[in-house]
Structures are given as C-alpha cells and as structure tokens.
Amino acid sequence: MTYEIIKVMNNNVILVRVEKSSEECMLIGKGLGFGRRTGEVITTEEDKIEKKYYATDESGKTSYIELLKHVDRAVIGVGEEFIAEAESVLGKLSEQVHVVLIDHIAFAINRVREDMVIDNPFLFEIRTLYPKEYELGLKAVERINSEFMIYLPPDEAGFIALHLYAARKNSAVKDAVKQTRIMTEVMQYIEKIMKKDLKADEYAYIRLLNHMRGAIDRYQKGIETVNPLLKSIKSEMPISYKLAKQVGQFLRQEFSWDFGEHELGYLTIHIERIRSIKE
C-alpha cells in the first residue's frame, strides 16, 4: 500500500495519509521512519507494519489533531511504540488511550523537567491489583528516562498502569483511580481496627487485597455468595468475625455497600489468618 508521510515521529513511527484518500493513520514498525521526510510518498509492505492506528470517531480525530499540534513528536513516537507493545500483552485497548496516555506522558516529562515531584499514594495497591499493567508501566518509564535523559520515578509507572487498566476496561481513568482509592481506604481501615501493619507480611496483605477486590466486584455485579462454613466461622473465629462486621459497617457508611454475612464470613478467614501472624 502507498502512503504520503505527514510527519515522522521517530525511526519507528510515522503519521501518514493513505493514498487516494483523506484518511490519516499512525504506522508503527521497525525502521519505518528511518531516513524519511514529510511529503515523501512511500510504498510499504504490510508485513513491515506492526501496528496501525486510525482515529475512527470525530471526537477522537479532533483530540489527536490537537495532540499532534502541542506534543513533541518524539514523545508521540515513544508513546505510540509503547501502546503497541502494551496491546501485544493486554489485547486491544480503548482508542482514547492514544490521546490520554500520550498527553499524560508529555505532562509527566514536563513536570519532572520543572522539578515537580508527585508521589503516588496508591503505588502498592496498583502493583498488586494491576500487575501486568504495572510491569508495562515500569518498561515505559525505563524507555522514557533513557530516551529523554530524565528521571521519572517508579511512582510514574503506577500512574501509567492506571491508564492502561482504564483502557482495557474502556472506562475513564478517573474511574480506575476511584476504584484504587477505595481499595486503599478499605485496607487502611482494616489496619486501623486490627492495630496492625498489614504490609509487614506482604503475602498476607496481597491475598487480603485481592479478596476485597473480588468481594467488591461481586457486590457491584449483584453476585450473591453462599458460605457453607459460615456457622463454623462464627463460632470458631468470633474475634475475627466481629472485625469483619466492622469492615462491613464501614463499607455501608462510606460507600452504601451492604455486604451480606456470607461474604463477611469469607473476609473473616483472611482476617483470622492475619491475626495469627506473629509480629
């Protein structure tokens, strides 16, 4: 297929116009942009193109055009390469990620150049809840640091992970942030009532965090659980069950979520396990 080059982002990413069409797209592939210039007409074998990105809706096209005007082409190039790599791991991502994530990366680069540091208060939870996205975030940070000779801290990998998770779910980034914040608040409340640093035993903390994530997900989807061991749990783990009921009360007061006693019974088992861990 034949394309006219509109802009070369880097050696591997070019913005082109499809021949005999007004349609524009981003092409990603090793060496596609090497030695190329704006206005050049090229014929490229399809097997050399690793990824194509077309903005299919008018809103997406408008946003991407604005991005091209205001964001350095090198940043766009790195961002598009990273998104292509992320899709090879996570599957198809929301189209909006091409605008939102690249814009975020550009902002993060400018921020660090101006010595503005933003800590990520949810980093531990992000690492646990979204491990694939976080690993990709670390790779992105490493690439950005190397490419632009800056230092983005691991906290930034957490922010990138949230963008990737939102793109997987085709939801807004603010929803992913809200979900993570809620999980963090719940875990902090459990630490408070247990008077225990749960992160001291990372494995136990991760198991509890993943359980709470599943419990909240089941509740939001209206999935009811049946706990055949509930009677035994209540009689054999009375202190832990009392703590679980406090968590249930917290969820009801803060988020209007009414967890049933069967779900609280499963939570009791995790609390009991943590209580048994010696300091």
pLDDT on residue 65: 82
What is the tally of structural domains in the chain? 3
Residue 89 makes CB contacts below 8 A (sequence gap 6+) with 132, 136
Residue 117 makes CB contacts below 8 A (sequence gap 6+) with 153
Block residue for tokens 């996570």: 90
Mean pLDDT of 85-114: 94
Dump strand ranges (E) for the chain: 2-10, 13-18, 24-28, 41-43, 51-53
Could you tell me the end-to-end alpha-carbon distance of the chain, in angstroms, rounded to an integer?
66
231 shares a domain with 209: yes
Mean pLDDT of 77-105: 94
CATH of the domain at 16: 2.30.24.10
pLDDT on residue 271: 93
SS3 label, residue 225:
coil
222 shares a domain with 209: yes
Strand order in the sheet with 24-28: 41-43, 2-10, 13-18, 24-28, 51-53
pLDDT on residue 278: 59
d(CA 17, CA 71): 20
Q: How far is CA 254 from CA 10, 185, 202, 249, in A?
A: 49, 10, 26, 9
Looking only at the bridges linking them, the beta strands covering 2-10 and 51-53 are unpaired
pLDDT at 197 over 90: no
d(CA 71, CA 77): 10
pLDDT on residue 118: 83
pLDDT at 102 over 90: yes
**Final residue in a domain of this structure, among 171, 199, 233:** 171
**Final residue in a domain of this structure, among 117, 150, 171:** 171
186 shares a domain with 86: no
pLDDT on residue 203: 86
232 shares a domain with 146: no
Query: pLDDT tens digits, residue range 37-87?
Result: 888 888 876 667 887 777 666 676 788 888 888 999 999 999 999 999 999
Q: Residue 247 is part of which domain span?
A: 175-275
257 shares a domain with 149: no
Cβ atoms of 15 and 6 within 8 Å: the answer is yes
Lowest mean pLDDT among 18-22, 146-150, 173-177, 181-185: 18-22
pLDDT on residue 21: 75
Tokens for 227? Answer: 């706990």
91 shares a domain with 43: no
Tokens for 1? Answer: 């297929």
Residue 110: which pLDDT band, with cuts at 50, 70 and 90? very high
pLDDT at 279 over 60: no
Mean pLDDT of 102-119: 92
Mean pLDDT of 107-113: 94
Amino acid, res. 147: E
**Final residue in a domain of this structure, among 171, 205, 220:** 171
CATH of the domain at 235: 1.10.1790.10
Cβ atoms of 6 and 73 within 8 Å: the answer is no
209 shares a domain with 265: yes
Mean pLDDT of the chain: 90
Q: How many CB atoms lie within 10 A of CB 171?
A: 14
Mean pLDDT of 130-140: 97
pTM here is: 0.83
pLDDT over 90, % of the chain = 61
Residue 64 makes CB contacts below 8 A (sequence gap 6+) with 55, 98, 99
Cβ atoms of 229 and 264 within 8 Å: the answer is no
